[in-house]
Amino acid sequence: MKTTQLTDIRKIEVGQASEPGLISDTDVLIRVGVVGVCGSDIHYYEWGRIGDQVIDFPFTIGHEFAGTVEQTGSLVTRVKPGDRIAVDPSVACGHCDQCKQGRPHTCRNNKFLGCPGQLSGSLKEKIVMPEENCFPLPDNLTLEEGALSEPLSIGLYAVKQSGLQKGMNIGILGYGPIGMSVYLAAQAYGMDKAYVSDKLEPRLEMARMQGAALTANPDREDVVAPFQEAEPSQLDVVYECCGDQQALDQAIDLVKPGGRILIVGIPPVDRWGFDVNKGRRKEVTLINVRRQNDTVQETLDLMASGRIKARSMVTHRFTLDQTPQAFDLVANYRDGVMKAMVQND
Ligand SMILES: [Zn+2]
Ligand SMILES: [Zn+2]
């Protein structure tokens, strides 16, 4: 079968590998249909690492995917051959303290697709996953929407962790696919106004099209003053979705006393800081978001019912052979790219 491999910094090669087989009775062999290129994949592509997770080349990345079931182990009941499925790329052990406390996303033995030292990624023709990671796709959703359910489930989890209530006003700093996922989930949960910043104009335009109350580009203008002028009592929740120190500083200025800041972005640095006095005087709650927990099915349901409309997130499509071009485009933020999809056909 065809596979892709990251063979060096900024170098992806397309080649051949032997087909994976079922190992456990609860395994599912999946024909990969479409894979979304994620910001975390780009971290590995550009720097070969996220924090202390360092790639040992060659390695296959990719984790946002949907596909079709080809074969199932004898004990599998959730799916059957021919089913179209979305896949949760996070494999938990099921027996550590975290798993037992209902926190499989912080499982002590967690293995995530396309993470070095864990599991080989999904940018290939076929892959094997445990059945509990497989979610049958509602009939009215496309495979692409199935792949989008991965970042969207993170957005939905961030919104749930923030305690967002109907009528609240929010800030979203960074409007890439994760920022947009937060936006769509917050909309489904009844937010009132959203204030959005990003350094890329096409992304701000997309935010305005979605209905953002006000947008600002930190490279060209002040973000805090116009948002505060429009919302003098400040924002209930601010979601940091770009991993940028400047955005975290702005979040502390923008949030109202007693408000919450959700850290959803992945910073390119290992440490960052915040103004302790501002944070203390406002009694701000800072919440870290680790991917998602138990929000995949709810995300699929919200998409199937039309309460989350995410199709417009996909701006570019490539074949598996064109994976290098897809990464080059996304890493360089070219051509107004939001989400690039790699299709396996
Ligand atoms: Zn992702
Ligand atoms: Zn565990």
Q: What is the pLDDT of residues 284-341, one digit of tens each?
A: 999 999 999 999 999 999 999 999 999 999 999 999 999 999 999 999 999 999 999 9
**pLDDT, tens digit (0-9, with 9 covering 90-100), for 75-108:** 999 999 999 999 999 999 999 999 999 999 999 9
Ligand 1 centroid–CA 326 distance in Å is 15
Q: Are residues 39 and 124 in the same domain?
A: yes
Distance CA 95, CA 325 (A): 41
The runs of H, that is alpha helices, within 132-233 are 143-161, 177-188, 201-210, 224-230
Ligand 1 centroid–CA 331 distance in Å is 14
Asked if the structure places residue 112 within a domain, the reply is yes
Ligand at shortest distance from the CA of 94: 2
Ligand at shortest distance from the CA of 65: 1
Ligand 1 centroid–CA 277 distance in Å is 34
Q: Are residues 28 and 130 in the same domain?
A: yes
Asked if the structure places residue 297 within a domain, the reply is no
- Side-chain half-sphere exposure of 13, counting CA atoms within 13 A: 9
Question: Range of 251's domain?
Answer: 153-288
The number of distinct structural domains making up the chain is 2
**pLDDT, tens digit (0-9, with 9 covering 90-100), for 205-262:** 999 999 999 999 999 999 999 999 999 999 999 999 999 999 999 999 999 999 999 9
Q: Are residues 329 and 263 in the same domain?
A: no
Ligand at shortest distance from the CA of 102: 2
CATH number of 92's domain:
3.90.180.10
Q: Are residues 45 and 82 in the same domain?
A: yes
Asked if the structure places residue 293 within a domain, the reply is no
Distance CA 287, CA 8 (A): 34
Residues with CB under 5 A from ligand 2 (ion): 92-93, 96, 99, 107
Query: The whole model's pTM is what?
Result: 0.97
Q: Are residues 254 and 315 in the same domain?
A: no
Distance CA 329, CA 333 (A): 6
Asked if the structure places residue 59 within a domain, the reply is yes
Sequence-ordered list of residues with C-beta below 8 angstroms from that of 135, at least 6 positions apart, any chain: 85, 86, 87, 88, 149, 296, 297, 300
Asked if the structure places residue 146 within a domain, the reply is no
Ligand 2 centroid–CA 318 distance in Å is 35
Helices and strands (H and E) in the chain: how many = 10, 19
Distance CA 132, CA 78 (A): 8
Ligand 1 centroid–CA 42 distance in Å is 10
